[in-house]
Amino acid sequence: MAAEKSILVFGDSLSAAYGIAQSRGWVALLDERVKRERPHYSVANASVSGETTAGGRARIDATLARFHPAVVIVELGGNDGLRGMPVSEMKANLGAIVERSQKAGARVLVVGMKLPPNYGEEYTRAFEDAFVDVAKRYRVALVPFMLEGFAEKPEYFQPDHIHPTAEAQALILERVWQGLRPLLK
C-alpha cells in the first residue's frame, strides 16, 4: 500500500456533485486543496445520489475494505429527512457507519444537515440534533450544517431548490475543511 493516506467522502448527491460537472463539486475542490496543502493524503469519493443512511450502512464495510481510509467524511441523512424517515433509524445507521469506520482505524467527520421548516418543528429539531448526538456519542468531529451561511440564498441552488450550484461548492468546501483540517495529522 502507498504511503499516501486516503480521505473517504461517504455521502449522497450533495457530495456526488449532482447536477453540476464532477470537477466543480466540493469533493473535487477538496482534492485540489489536499494536493496543495496535505500532499500525503488523497481523496476518494464514494458518494451516491439518493443514498440514505440505511443504504450507506449496507455498503460501508465494502467501501472501507476498498479504500482503507485514514479519515471518513460521513455526509448522509438528508435523504432520510426529505423522506420523513424516523430519526431514531437515521441515528442508528449513522452510528453504525461511524463505529465501523472507527473500527477500521479511521478518524471520522460527521457532516450535518438541516431540513426546511415545513417538516414541523419537532421533527426538524430532532433531525438536526441527531448529527450532534452521533458526533458526541462516538467522540468524532462535526460540521453541524454543511450549507451554513448560504442555505437561505436561492441563487446558490439549482432549480430544484435542494442541490447547490457550482458557485456554492467552494462555500461547502470551506465549511467541511474547518472540521476536516484538525483530523489531517
The C-alpha angle 177, 38, 47, rounded to 5 degrees, equals 55
Confidence at 4, pLDDT banded by 50, 70, 90: confident
pLDDT higher than threshold 90 for residue 3: no
Q: Which tens digit of pLDDT belongs to each residue from 66-85?
A: 999 999 999 999 999 999 99
Strand partners, 110: 74, 142
Q: For the chain, which residues make up each domain, given as ranges?
A: 5-183
Confidence at 1, pLDDT banded by 50, 70, 90: very low
CA neighbor of 69 nearest in space, from 39, 100, 33: 100
**Residue-level pLDDT at 2:** 46
**Residue-level pLDDT at 117:** 87
Kindly compute the dihedral angle of the four CA atoms of residues 61, 65, 71, 76, in this order, to the nearest 10 degrees.
-30
**Residue-level pLDDT at 110:** 98
Mean pLDDT of 98-121: 96
5-183: CATH topology: Rossmann fold (3.40.50)
Q: Which tens digit of pLDDT belongs to each residue from 138-182?
A: 999 999 999 999 999 999 999 999 999 999 999 999 999 999 999
The residues that are catalytic are 13, 160, 163
